[in-house]
């Protein structure tokens, strides 16, 4: 059986991971209404291309499958966005902003807190309490509790879903955490009058824009993926847009040891 072990170094510590054991935390997209959906996006549509006598469906007698896909990145499934989401800058597109795809990530589970107005909010203090300010990851992966399977096909539009406290976005930006991934439709309230406080805070837009930072929404972290440290492979398509459907994949990181069992010297 094929096996492999790879090693990376992060903040003076060597870690091992197995590239043959990926943990996919994206949600698949398929035609129809059985996808997670938000912000009143139309369901994903897949149309068969017909040109003259050619039919782009093997099932319908064609030689190949040839189809057109209609989707809305921000509303249909797992997607990654850059600061272009809140900027008129034509150069603010994900294909230009995201030039690295491997990051050291930490998975944190948190229970949103109900506010006086009834909103459920991920509070900054609840997340920060699970982090070490002296050893922060490049990417933070947030799993909200309870971690229900219903997240996979939730229809969020008009439900005022959970969002994060802007103070958390400020903390991540101030401490150079470049990427935020979460199982919510947005870091901000569904309807907030266009304030988008957490978006602005995370990207520090427009004062000192963090051009290379991204937010990935509508992930799903299975219960089998424990809180802890991972290597993140953030896969996106090369769309010249502010956002793209994405496929974040995790690989479990474990501290590397030498043959005597001691941590290797990295100095």
Residue with tokens 């805070």: 201
Asked if residue 66 lies in contact with residue 191, where contact means CB atoms within 8 angstroms, the answer is no
Cα(262)–Cα(267) distance, integer angstroms: 15
Q: Which fold has domain 9-26+78-255?
A: Glucose Oxidase; domain 1 (3.50.30)
Residue with tokens 């997670």: 36
Exposure of 183 by Cβ count < 10 A (0-12 exposed, 13-18 middle, 19+ buried)? buried
- Is the pLDDT assigned to residue 267 strictly greater than 50? no
- Is the pLDDT assigned to residue 207 strictly greater than 70? yes
- Sequence spans of domains, the chain: 9-26+78-255
Structure tokens at 265: 């010297």
Q: What is the pLDDT of residue 5?
A: 92
Cα(80)–Cα(153) distance, integer angstroms: 18
Q: Model confidence over 137-157: pLDDT tens digits?
A: 999 999 999 999 999 999 999
- Which element (helix H / strand E) includes 169? helix 166-174
Q: Model confidence over 160-179: pLDDT tens digits?
A: 999 999 999 999 999 999 99
């Amino acid at each position: 059986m094929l096996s492999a072990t790879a090693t990376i170094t992060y903040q003076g510590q060597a870690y091992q991971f197995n590239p043959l054991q990926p943990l996919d935390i994206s949600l698949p997209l398929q035609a129809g209404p059985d996808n997670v959906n938000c912000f009143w996006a139309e369901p994903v549509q897949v149309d068969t291309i017909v040109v003259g006598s050619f039919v782009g469906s093997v099932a319908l007698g064609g030689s190949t499958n040839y189809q057109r896909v209609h989707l809305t990145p921000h509303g249909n499934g797992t997607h990654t966005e850059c600061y272009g989401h809140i900027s008129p800058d034509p150069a603010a597109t994900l294909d230009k902003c995201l030039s690295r795809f491997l990051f050291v990530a930490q998975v944190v589970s948190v229970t949103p807190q109900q506010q006086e107005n009834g909103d459920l909010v991920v509070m900054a203090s609840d997340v920060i309490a699970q982090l070490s300010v002296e050893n922060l990851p490049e990417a933070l992966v947030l799993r909200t509790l309870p971690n229900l399977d219903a997240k996979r096909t939730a229809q969020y539009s008009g439900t005022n879903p959970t969002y994060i406290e802007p103070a958390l976005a400020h903390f991540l930006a101030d401490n150079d955490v470049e990427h935020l991934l979460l199982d919510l439709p947005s870091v901000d309230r569904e309807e907030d009058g266009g304030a988008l406080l957490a978006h602005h805070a995370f990207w520090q837009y427009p004062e000192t824009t963090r051009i290379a930072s991204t937010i990935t929404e509508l992930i799903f972290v299975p219960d089998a993926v424990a809180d802890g440290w991972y290597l993140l492979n953030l896969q996106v398509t090369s769309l010249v847009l502010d956002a793209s459907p994405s496929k974040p994949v995790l690989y479990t990181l474990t501290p590397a040891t030498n043959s005597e069992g001691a941590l290797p010297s990295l100095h």
